[in-house]
Chains A and B, each alone.
Chain A
Amino acid sequence: MNGLIITMVIATLIPIYEAWQDDDIWQKLLAFASIATKTSIMILVISVLRDDWMIGVVGVLILSVGNAALMLLAQVLKRVNESY
C-alpha cells in the first residue's frame, strides 16, 4: 500500500509541474482541477490504509464541493477576459 501512495504522489507531481511552467491561465486551471481530484483520492486511500474515517470524510467533502469553487473561478475568469 505504501508503494501505491508513492506512485500516486508521482502522478500528482505531473500537474503540479504543468501549473508551475505554463503561463496560460486555462491550462493552469486545468492542472489545479487535476491536483484537487488526485489529492482527494489520495486522502481516501490513506483513510482506508489507516482505517480512520475522519480523514475519509474530509476527502469526500473535497470531492463533492471542491469542484464547485473551480467552476465559479472559471466563470469569473471568463467575465474578466470578456471585459478586456
Chain B
Amino acid sequence: MLINILSYACIACGIVFWYWGTWPLVGNRSLLFKLHSLSVADTLGSMAIIIGLLLQISHEWPLLVLALIALAVWNTTLGYVLAYCSSDANHPIVPLTRAEDEA
C-alpha cells in the first residue's frame, strides 16, 4: 500500500516536471534556455517516472535500470551535443573568450 502511494507520487512528480520543462518550448526564449529546461524535465522527470514504475513492478528490474542508465547518460550527452552544435551556427558563445584572448 505504502509502496503504491510512493510509486504514484514519483510518477506524478515526473509528470509535473515534464509540464514545467516543456512549457517554455512554446515561448520566445533563447534556444539555450529552452534546451536547459527541456533537458532537466526530460532527464529528471522521466527518471522519476521510471523509478515509480520500478516500485510498481520490481521483478523486471534489469530492463528498468537499463532505461534509467540510458536516460542519465544519453540525455545529458545529447543536451551537450545540441548546445555545442547550435551555438556555433547562429548564437556564438565562444567569441567572449576569444575577445578576452585578443585583449
Contacts and interface: CB of A to CB of B under 8 A. Distances in A.
Contacts, number: 110
A63 B74 contact: yes
Given A15-B22, A67-B75, 19 more contacts: A8-B15, A14-B23, A18-B25, A26-B82, A26-B89, A27-B31, A30-B34, A33-B38, A34-B42, A38-B18, A38-B46, A44-B53, A45-B53, A48-B53, A59-B67, A67-B77, A70-B78, A71-B77, A81-B88
29 contacts: A8-B15, A11-B15, A15-B25, A24-B31, A26-B90, A27-B25, A29-B82, A29-B86, A30-B35, A30-B38, A33-B42, A34-B42, A37-B46, A41-B46, A59-B67, A60-B63, A60-B66, A64-B74, A67-B74, A68-B74, A70-B82, A71-B77, A71-B78, A74-B81, A74-B82, A74-B86, A78-B88, A81-B89, A82-B88
